[in-house]
Amino acid sequence: MTDKPHSITPAIALRAVRIWSGLFLLAFVTSHLINLSFGLISIESMDGARSYLTGVWTGKIVGAVLLAAFVCHFFLGLWALYVRPTLRTNTQDIVQLLTGLLVVPLLATHAIAISMLANAGVDFGYSDTIRLFWLQVPTLGLLQVIMLSVVWVHGCAGLFTWLRAKEGAGKVLHWLYLFAVLVPIFALLGYAGAGREMLVAGQAGADLAQSPAMPEDVKVPFALIKQVTNATIYGSIALTLLTLAARFVRLRVQTTQKVVLIRDGSPEMVSTSAISILDCFGRNDQPHASLCAGRGRCGTCAVRIVKSDFPLPTPSELEQQTLYRVGAPQGARLACQLKPAGGKVEVLAIYPADYTFENDRPTDVPSSFKAPA
C-alpha cells in the first residue's frame, strides 16, 4: 500500500482554489438561469424572484468574494494552459478549455455594466434588462444568450469532470445530466417569453416598454462603463495570447530526452520526457482509463512499473495523496503525473481503458482498495 502523504503543497492548494472558485461561480450562473426561467410566467415574476436568486449576489461581501473567485479562476485557468505539456486531449477537455477562454470577453459586458450601475445607485431590474435586450439593443441580447450558453457549458464540463473522478458520484450524475439540460432550456424559454411580453408592450405603447426617468441626482457613467468593459475584454484576450506565446517559447527551449514506452507488451510508443505517460498514450491513440481527464484526482490511470532504464522522478504530494486515497499497490504510479526521464519504460495498466467506478474493481488490485482508517 502506498505510504500516506503528510503535507499540502502549493500545487494541491491551487487545485483546491480552482475547483471551489469554479463551483462558486457555477452557483452564481445557476441562480441567474433559474431566475430567467420565471420569464415563462411574466417579467414581474422575474423581478419578484430576483431578491431570492440573483439578489443574494449583490451584497458587498458576497460581491467581493464573487469577484475574487472570478479573477482567481481565470488566472489559474491561464496557468493550467501554460503548464499543459500538450493540447491534444479528449473532446470534453477541449470544449472546457475553449469555453473557459471565452468566458471573460463574453461576460464582461453584462457583469461590469450591472455592477457599475449598482454602484451609481441605479437599480437595473429584469424589466430594464429585457427592455434593453429586446427593444433597444437586440444584438446585445443575442450576445447574452451566447454568453450564458458558453458559461454554462464550461461550468458543467468542469463539474462533471470533477464528480466523475469520485466514487459513488455515478449515482447522482444521471440526475445532474438532466439538470444540466433542463436548466438552460427553461432559462432560454423564460428569456424568450419575457422578450415576447416586452415586444407586445412596445407595440401597445405600454408603460412596461418605457424607460423610467432617472432621478436628477443619479449620474449614469455610460462612458466609463464602456471604457472599463473594453479594457477588460481586450486585456483578457491579450493575457490569453501572451499565455499561449509563453507556452510556445517554454516548449521550444525545453530540453527533452527520448522515451520509449511499452504498455502490457504492446508495440513500442515513442515519447519524450516532457509529457506524461498518459499523454503518450493519447498521442499514439491508445485508450487508457482516466476518469478525471489527467488531473491526478481519480487514480484510474494508475500503472505498475515493470522496468525503467532510468530512475523515475519522485511522485509529487498530489500523486501520493491520490495513490494513497485509492489504495493503490506499492510501486504503482499515476500515468497522468509520471514523466519518465528517458530510456525505455515498461508498464502494466491496472484498470481497463473503459473503466468507470460502477464497474467491479480489477481482480489484481487489493480488494480493500480504500485508504486504511
pLDDT in tens, 200-226: 988 888 878 777 665 555 666 778 888
Find out whether 76 and 20 touch, Cβ atoms under 8 Å.
Answer: no
**Which cell is 43 given?**
417579467
Q: H or E stretch including 270?
A: strand 269-272
Confidence (pLDDT) at 60? 79
Name the least confident of 1-5, 189-193, 233-237, 272-276. Answer: 1-5
Length of the chain: 373
pLDDT tens per residue across span 270-319: 888 888 999 888 888 888 988 888 888 888 899 999 888 888 888 888 88
Q: Which residues contact 173 (CB under 8 A, 6 or more apart)?
A: 160, 163, 164
List, for residues 18-54, the tens digit of each pLDDT value: 889 889 989 988 999 999 999 999 999 999 998 889 8
Helix (H, G, I), strand (E, B) or coil at 362: coil
Higher pLDDT, residue 153 or 91: 153
DSSP 357: T
Can you list the domains of the chain with their CATH numbers? Answer: 10-252 (1.20.1300.10), 258-349 (3.10.20.30)
CA-based radius of gyration for the chain: 25
Which has more confidence, 103 or 120?
103
Q: CA 235, CA 315: separation in Å to the nearest integer?
A: 37
User: In the predicted model, what is the mean pLDDT of residues 187-207?
Assistant: 90
Distance, in Å, from the CA atom of 17 to the CA atom of 76, rounded to the nearest integer, reads: 9
Neighbours of 25 (CB within 10 A): 22
pLDDT at res. 373: 27
Q: What angle do CA 193, 23, 45 make, to 5 degrees?
A: 25
User: Contact at 8 Å (CB) between 253 and 271?
Assistant: no
The kind and range of the H/E element at 239 are: helix 222-253
Q: Tell me which residue has cell 480552482.
A: 18
Confidence at residue 33, expressed as pLDDT on a 0 to 100 scale = 92
Question: If phi over 0 gives left and psi between -120 and 50 gives alpha, with beta otherwise, what is residue 369?
Answer: left
The C-alpha atoms of residue 120 and residue 124 are separated, in whole angstroms, by 11
Angstrom distance (rounded) from CA 296 to CA 321: 9
User: Quick check: 361 pLDDT over 70?
Assistant: no
Average pLDDT of the chain is 83
Q: What does each C-alpha distance from 205 to 39, 47, 141, 196 come to in angstroms?
A: 20, 21, 21, 14
Given this model, what pLDDT does residue 59 score?
A: 76
**Residue scoring higher pLDDT (175 or 197):** 197
Q: What is the mean pLDDT of residues 98-122?
A: 77
pLDDT value of position 217:
59
Task: Output the pLDDT for position 371.
Answer: 33
Lookup result for grid cell 439578489: 55
Cα–Cα distance between 106 and 146 in angstroms, integer?
8
Residue 349 half-sphere exposure, CB side, CA atoms within 13 Å? 22
Q: Which of 142, 219, 233 is nearest to 188 (CA)?
A: 142
At residue 163 the predicted structure's pLDDT band, cuts being 50, 70 and 90, is: confident
Structure confidence at residue 369 (pLDDT) = 37
Residue pLDDT, tens place only, 45-78 = 999 998 889 888 877 788 888 888 888 889 988 9
Assign 2 a pLDDT band (cuts: 50, 70, 90): low
Q: CB-based contacts of 157: which residues, under 8 Å, 6+ apart?
A: 92, 95, 96, 99
The tally of CA atoms less than 13 A away on the side-chain side of residue 64 is: 2
Report the amino acid identity of residue 95.
V
- Secondary structure element (H or E) that encloses residue 66, with its range: helix 60-83
What pLDDT does residue 6 have? Answer: 58
Instruction: Check pLDDT > 90 for residue 329.
Output: no
**pLDDT, tens only, 84-97:** 877 776 677 787 88
The C-alpha atoms of residue 50 and residue 56 are separated, in whole angstroms, by: 8
Residue 341 pLDDT > 90: no
